[in-house]
Every structure is written in structure tokens, then in C-alpha cells.
Amino acid sequence: MGAGHPECAARLDAIEDRLLISGVMDVLQRHDAPKASIYDLELAHSRMHVAAMRGLDLLMQEEIAAGGDGYSQIDTDTLLSPHTWNAALRAAGAVVAATDMVIEGRLDNAFCAVRPPGHHAERDKAMGFCFFNNIAVGAKYALQRRQLERVAVIDFDVHHGNGTEDILAGDARTLMVSFFQSPFFPNSGEQAKGENMCNIPVPAYTKGMDVREIIDMMWVPRLEAFKPQMIFISAGFDAHRDDDMGQLMLSESDYAWITQLIVDIARRHAGGRIVSSLEGGYVMEPLARSVEAHVRVLAGL
């Protein structure tokens, strides 16, 4: 998204380096992300939104051919670059492919290290570094293409997943649980849009142990009653105490604890089926350490 932007390629480099150095990568299967089809994107997004993103990409390619820089401003924080369209297709495609592999038993679970993130992308709107809602596409795909009856989405990014809520609210086949800093961007989530939403706003400087208590009290009863057949995770790590994108106070041990709780619920109700996809996390060292903690639990290490 341009020089100095926090949503940068170095994020994935930091994650890969950490998984390699720690030895975690040695026990993982690695798969390249295929491109999602337009039909898959339209499970979560309107045809007009998908067409608009494609149209902007084509306009940029024409601009580049005429000597322009090939950037298009979506909002004050979000820029479409000449490579965004293909990257966004692969980010959503990773979640779709992971969903297939987990449902078919080819993987126990999956973590998708992808850019751009997705949970702010609404049905008809790109915003907040997000163009297509990767996790919502995967959840809808599991329901409509793979005929699951109930899927849960868990979002622990520091920001409210307004896009996921916009797409899933009112769909009784889904349950979304989240915590997020409030008041904070995108200034939503205080009032849930549907009964299938469990939104938990928390104030700045909330500590990890307090978040754990909230999860035990608020998430767990809803998830246990819902009995999801598959769990999707919007895995944002910008609630880390060393990430200056937000002001929550989580640590790697908190992310490991949350992940273990999700794994245990998935084992009880979903045959262990989990697909996790990267959302936020913008300071390289805490991002990489937190992803390592998350993946270690998913891999049973």
C-alpha cells in the first residue's frame, strides 16, 4: 500500500523467519494459496463490489501503461496497488482451499499467512486495509458449498470485525464471537447487528488475564451451546501489548491460551476443524512471536 504503510510485505517475512528459526516450520505442511473464484467471493460480497474492485484494477493497469503510478485511494488508510487484485484473490483463495483440505481430512487444521487482511471488508465496501473478507468467504463457502450446518467465527483482533459482522449478522447458521478495543476504529460493535453476534468491547489497557475471564464468561457458553461443525479464526495480533496500533495488553501466552481454548472446543464439537487467517499485527517482533505461539498450539507442539 506504499512506502511506510503498516500493512506491508515485511509482516509475512517476519512470520516466515520466526517459524523457520524456531523449528515450527519443520512440522508443518506448506501450501501455496490459489486464487479464489469470482463465484466464491460473491458468497460474501455483492456482485457490484467484486466488479468494482476488478474495475479499479483494470483502470490502474491502464494508468501504468500510460506512465502513472498505479495506485488508487479507497479511503484514507487503504490503497489499491497494481498487485492488490491478485493478492486479494489469493488471500481469500487460501481460506477456501484450507476449508476444503480441513473438511476432507487432508489437514487437521490450517493457518493462512495472507495479505491483505479481510475482516473490515463489508459486503459492499472495502476499508481498513481490507478488500475482500477472507474469513467470511471461507465461512460462507463451508455452509453453501460444503453443506455444513453451523460454523463459528472467532475474532481476536484489536479492532472490531465490522465487515464480518455486516456479512454474517442474522445468519442463524453462523455464530461470531469477538473482543475488541472500544472506543476505537472502526467505531462499531457496541450494538450487535444480530442475535448471532457476541461482541465484547473492552477499554484500552485491558490486560490479558481480564480478557481470558471475559472469554470464559461470554464466549464459551455461546460456543458450547452453538456446537459449531467448523471454526474460523480472524487471527489479528495487534492487541499485543507491544503493538502500537492499539492499546490492549495481551502477550504471546494469552494468544496461546485463547488458541488452546478454541482447539478444545473444536475437538468437542467440530472434529478439530479450524481454519485461521491472519488479520492485524503490525510490529514485526511481537507479530512473529504471537503467530508462533498460535501455530504451535494448532500444531499440537
Tell me the domains of the chain and their CATH numbers.
10-298 (3.40.800.20)
* pLDDT tens digits along 87-96: 999 999 999 9
Q: How many CA atoms lie within 13 A of 231 on its CB side?
A: 32
- Per residue in 9-61, pLDDT (tens digit) is 999 999 999 999 999 999 999 999 999 999 999 999 999 999 999 999 999 88
With cut-offs at 50, 70 and 90, classify the pLDDT of residue 233. Answer: very high
Position 3 pLDDT exceeds 90: no
Q: Which three cell numbers stand for residue 88?
A: 486479494
Mean of all residue pLDDT scores within the chain:
97
pLDDT at 293 over 80: yes
pLDDT at res. 68 = 79
Mean pLDDT on 236-255: 98
Q: Pick from 171, 170, 165, 229: which is nearest to 199 by CA? A: 165
Q: Which residues contact 118 (CB under 8 A, 6 or more apart)?
A: 91, 92, 130, 131, 132, 133, 134, 135, 136, 137, 163, 234, 277, 279
Three-point CA angle 68, 72, 73, nearest 5°: 140
Confidence class of residue 72 from pLDDT cuts 50, 70 and 90? confident
Percent of the chain at pLDDT above 70? Answer: 100
Write the pLDDT tens digit of every residue in 162-199: 999 999 999 999 999 999 999 999 999 999 999 999 99
Sign of the dihedral through C-alpha 276, 278, 280, 284 = positive
pLDDT of 1: 87
What does the pLDDT read at residue 273? 98
**d(C-alpha 205, C-alpha 203), whole Å:** 6
Confidence of residue 64 (pLDDT cuts 50, 70, 90): confident
Say yes or no to pLDDT of 280 above 90.
Answer: yes
Across the range 116-132, mean pLDDT stands at 98
